[in-house]
Amino acid sequence: MNVMVVGGGGREHAIIKKIKENKNVEKVYSLPGNGGILEEAVCIDIDSKNVDEIANFAKNKNIDYAIISPDDPLVLGAVDKLESLKIPCFGPNSKAAIIEGSKVFSKKFMKKYNIPTAEYEVFEDYKSALEYLKKSKYPIVIKADGLALGKGVFISKDYLEASEFIQSVMQDKVFGKSGNKIVIEEYLQGPEVSILSFTDGKTIVPMISSMDHKKAQDGDKGLNTGGMGAIAPNPYYTEEIAKICMEKIFKPTIEGMNAEGRQFKGCLYFGLMITKNGPKVIEYNCRFGDPETQAILPLLESDLLDIMLATTNQTLSQEKVKFKNKFSCCVVLSSKGYPQKYETGFEIKIPNNIKEHINIAGAKNKDGTLVTAGGRVISVTQVDDSLELAVKGAYEKAKKISFENMYYRKDIGKNALEYSRKEL
Ligand code: AMP
Ligand code: GLY
């Protein structure tokens, strides 16, 4: 089987390693891949947003199965295009990917199907939004409607900050068309849980729970990033909460999308907040989360490719999806300065004896040497018998890797560990 994986980050590196465990996989292509992925797959320099080139490549190379991993190509219709060429895909079509592609869609959808989420208002007009902000209570949350590289959400503490943000989004168009509409919503509090799920549009199977660490600095301080580390399972996600989520959030989402004529197949990600009034949806993603995937996939005991094929063929109810009874911790090693300005081009040194569960993201191969080429450079994951050991192991690995200007958070898993100890 020839498999194509679109994307080129740590998440895709983890997905590629996992699908290669399936003995039917002959060749794996990664578009565009990166300097680390090329040890696992043939990297082809096609941008993951270039849907036409992706489709042409797949057709010319007789691709048997396409895994579309990032949000952009999904929202832009990569699956629609490939399916029209009779190439089966993992991932939703563009009609279903709108659940992530438009915050306005997802908020209206949740309201219509009674799925718990923060109270909100939608604005298309800058002046009305400004008027609303004058009367609002703070903190308040403002979200650009469309995709914005993870930067479209702003929690503002007062009117001044809020008005500056909507000025930049709606007037100055810092996110382009993604800022034509905005959502202003109630600020919620509570621990966050990421639930990634497999779904074929009929059956939904949640994966093991996880916790992202979105802020750049220790103690959840600093700017929002794509994610600086993750742990799994998430101790806040108890069996009781899981049951509530299945009945009030997961099933109604799948059923609602079907009712809208937008059947979702692929990985549906629920960003949840466990508030004192129960779990609420903060966001949907139409894809695997990063770095959560890098903590989750090493715990998956079942065959990933078989599960993916079952979501495509709508046979998920017959598929075994089993996770190890273990713990994992993923720490992201980044370039100092990320998510703002940073320097690249520094040589990366990784000892051979720690290669397991090391994923490469922002790095390229320069004349045979791996050098930094992005904000999030490498992730190290440790799977162990307890969360404590997983955290310890991940940091031991991190210390053995070096590149100039390397920066990482020192407290991934700390909050989860403290909470687990309290609960004992
Ligand atoms: P999102 O891109 O929608 O995941 O938002 C990024 C982060 O902003 C989330 O992980 C939360 O930490 C925070 N956030 C988003 N919406 C809210 C909300 N309504 N209340 C509090 N925090 C929020
Ligand atoms: N880790 C959150 C995301 O992938 O959007």
Size of the chain, expressed as the number of residues it contains: 424
Return the pLDDT at 270: 98
List all residues whose CB is within 6 A of at least one atom of ligand 1.
118, 141, 153, 155, 185-188, 192, 214, 224, 271, 282-283
List all residues whose CB is within 6 A of at least one atom of ligand 2.
212, 227, 285, 289-290, 292
AA letter at 375: G
Q: What are the tens digits of pLDDT across the range 341-383?
A: 999 999 999 998 888 889 999 999 999 999 999 999 999 999 9
Q: What are the tens digits of pLDDT across the range 207-265?
A: 999 999 999 999 999 988 989 999 999 999 999 999 999 999 999 999 999 999 999 99
> Closest ligand 2 atom, CA of 11?
4
How close is the Cα of 289 to the center of ligand 2, in Å? Answer: 4
The ligand with the least distance to the CA atom of 155 is 1
The ligand with the least distance to the CA atom of 190 is 1
Return the pLDDT at 312: 98
Return the pLDDT at 356: 85
Q: Residues 6 or more apart from 231 whose CB is under 8 A from it? A: 210, 211, 295, 327, 328, 329, 330, 387, 390, 391, 412, 413, 416
Alpha-helix residue ranges (DSSP H) falling in 155-228? 159-166
Q: What are the tens digits of pLDDT across the range 67-90?
A: 999 999 999 999 999 999 999 999
Find the farthest-apart pair of alpha carbons in the chain and give their distance in angstroms, rounded: 61
Report in angstroms the alpha-carbon separations of 92 from 129, 242, 269, 389.
Answer: 32, 24, 12, 36
Confidence band for 134, pLDDT divided at 50, 70 and 90 = very high
Return the pLDDT at 148: 87
Model confidence at 423: pLDDT above 90? no
Best of 12, 212, 234 to mutate for ligand 2, by most ligand atoms within 8 A of CB?
212
What whole-number distance in Å separates Cα of residue 390 and Cα of residue 324?
14
Going by C-alpha positions, the residue among 363, 219, 209 that lies closest to residue 295 is 209
What whole-number distance in Å separates Cα of residue 308 and Cα of residue 105?
26
The ligand with the least distance to the CA atom of 185 is 1
Q: From atom 9 of ligand 1, which residue's Cα is the shortest distance away? A: 282
How close is the Cα of 229 to the center of ligand 2, in Å? Answer: 10
Model confidence at 424: pLDDT above 80? no
Return the pLDDT at 239: 97
How close is the Cα of 306 to the center of ligand 1, in Å? Answer: 33
What whole-number distance in Å separates Cα of residue 9 and Cα of residue 286?
17
Q: What pTM was computed for the model?
A: 0.96
What whole-number distance in Å separates Cα of residue 403 and Cα of residue 34?
17
CA atoms within a 13 Å half-sphere pointing along the CA-CB vector of 152 = 26
What whole-number distance in Å separates Cα of residue 146 and Cα of residue 101?
5
CB 339 within 8 A of CB 189: no
How close is the Cα of 293 to the center of ligand 2, in Å? Answer: 9
Q: Which of 1-15, 149-163, 381-395 has the lowest mean pLDDT?
A: 149-163
Which residue did the predictor score with more confidence, 356 or 195? 195
Full DSSP string of 3-59 = EEEEE-SHHHHHHHHHHTTSTT--EEEEEE--TTGGGTSEE----TT-HHHHHHHHH
Own/partner pairs, 36-45, CB within 8 angstroms, 24+ separation: 36/358, 36/359, 36/360, 36/361, 36/363, 36/370, 36/378, 37/8, 37/12, 37/13, 37/360, 38/365, 40/13, 40/16, 41/5, 41/16, 43/8
Q: At what angle do helices 94-101 and 103-112 cross, to 10 degrees?
A: 100
